[in-house]
Amino acid sequence: MPDAPSLPDIAAPLLAWFATARRPMPWRETSDPYRIWVSETMLQQTRVDQAEPYYRAFVEAFPTVNALADAPLDDVLKRWEGLGYYRRARNFHRAAQIVRDDHGGLVPSDYDAFRALPGVGPYTAAAVLSIAFNRPHAALDGNVIRVLARLVALPDDTTRPATRRDLQGLADALLPADAPGAFNEAAMELGATVCTPKSPRCVVCPIQAMCRAYAEGRPTAYPVVSKKAPVPHRDVAVALLYDVAGRLLVQQRPEGKMLGGLWELPGGKVEPGERPEAAVVREVHEELGVEAEAGPLAARIDHAYSHLRVTLHAYPCRIVSGTPVSDLPLRWIAEDEIDTLAFPKATHKVFDALTAAQRTPTLFG
Ligand code: SF4
């Protein structure tokens, strides 16, 4: 790791720049640690413009940590619907209950106590505690990593844990004791608006004079990252099962799994060499214990998660024998109840595709 520029050199120009360039955001208008925590939890893996309406609706529905703790998990997931990474919402809900029960409803300002809460990693702890309580912890997110890697022209792969530790050490060394929250926000803001991944605007950068990547004339050569493996793809067959009243069967995903607690259409992975319409019949039998027939394909949609791409094939199915039973919660829902439950984005895409095609799969035969 090359030597860091001396602390005053970067902190002073960065903070001066931030004082004028700072974008208005609703969570920047509050010093409430809970609301700052909400924003930092949402902003993990979510862009600012996407998170903003969710933030407003979330703090309106759950204005305090105790209000969040007292709310049913289903309500919290519904408010989170569309943001993805639902583990964040479940952990946040559990953390709020611990704050209510063990900390008198006050967000802990002590690093170890806050860091011990579910879902609070080093980044969230540093960001919330520095911004809300002015605690001296450097927050290292993707934007800050890019800025620092360029600042020192770091030749090491920034995806490696050892490099992350080095960068954390560098960020800690640069952090001014009298303004850690503002410094963290300024570094993140610089990465988000000036030192961007593909087209950094070095000409307006407040730390250009200290930047080694700029001096080398190749800012975008940093940060160094190893090539990622291609994202795998999976075909999934799902069933549109209706009862005689025209209600649709949905089931809740198990806690502790990806998208846990959300509702979805019954179905599962298409095995190699298997046709999707055969897969949906097999899955319905395995999951619900009923014999079914699949009708013609009603919708096919693609959806990409960060680590997985899926194609959902949706078939109207008719139960030939048996009554659906499952270890997981099942519900028959009318169309207007779709808005009362939280579904993964991919399931919403199926609903949207069915609506757009004006196909209303019903019991057939
Ligand atoms: S000079 Fe360019 S590369 Fe260096 S920190 Fe500023 S924007 Fe990033």
Q: What is the pLDDT of residue 226?
A: 85
Question: For the chain, what percent of residues have pLDDT higher than 70?
Answer: 96
The minimum-distance atom of ligand 1 relative to the CA of 219 is: 3
19 C-alpha vs ligand 1 centroid, how far in Å?
A: 18
Angle at 316 between CA 315 and CA 321, to 5 degrees: 115
Q: Is 205 in the pocket of ligand 1 (CB under 6 A)?
A: yes
The minimum-distance atom of ligand 1 relative to the CA of 191 is: 8
Query: Is 52 an annotated catalytic residue?
Result: no
Mean pLDDT of 174-186: 96
Nearest to 11 by CA among 207, 213, 215, 211: 207
Q: What is the pLDDT of residue 358?
A: 62
Query: Parallel, antiparallel, or unpaired for β 233-241 and 309-321?
Result: parallel
Q: Is 324 in the pocket of ligand 1 (CB under 6 A)?
A: no
Ranges of each domain in the chain: 7-221, 233-356
142 C-alpha vs ligand 1 centroid, how far in Å?
A: 15
The tokens of 58 are what? 């979330």
Distance CA 69, CA 98 (A): 8
Distance CA 117, CA 191 (A): 28
* Range 331-343 burial, b when 16+ CB lie within 10 A, else e: eeeeeeeeeebbb
2 C-alpha vs ligand 1 centroid, how far in Å?
A: 16
Domain 7-221, CATH class in plain words? mainly alpha
pTM: 0.72
Tell which one of 201, 208, 216, 224 to mutate to probe ligand 1, the residue whose CB is within 8 A of the most ligand atoms. Answer: 208
Q: What is the pLDDT of residue 364?
A: 33
> Where residue 8 falls among pLDDT bands split at 50, 70, 90?
very low
* pLDDT tens-place string over residues 84-102: 888 899 999 999 999 999 9
- Of the candidates 29, 40, 264, 271, the residue annotated as catalytic is 40
Mean pLDDT of 74-80: 93
The tokens of 94 are what? 């559990």
* pLDDT tens-place string over residues 295-309: 999 999 999 988 899
224 C-alpha vs ligand 1 centroid, how far in Å?
A: 15
127 C-alpha vs ligand 1 centroid, how far in Å?
A: 22
In this model, does residue 173 exceed pLDDT 50? yes
Residue type, 245: A
Q: Which CATH number fits domain 233-356: 3.30.200.20, 2.40.160.20, 1.10.150.110, 3.90.79.10?
A: 3.90.79.10
Q: What is the pLDDT of residue 356?
A: 77
Q: Is 59 in the pocket of ligand 1 (CB under 6 A)?
A: no
Q: Is 148 in the pocket of ligand 1 (CB under 6 A)?
A: no
Q: What is the pLDDT of residue 78?
A: 92
In this model, does residue 360 exceed pLDDT 70? no
The tokens of 315 are what? 């078939």
- Name residue 91's beta-bridge partners: none
CB atoms within 10 A of CB 358: 6
Q: Is 152 in the pocket of ligand 1 (CB under 6 A)?
A: no
Q: What is the pLDDT of residue 362?
A: 44
Protein residue with least CA distance to atom 1, ligand 1 = 208
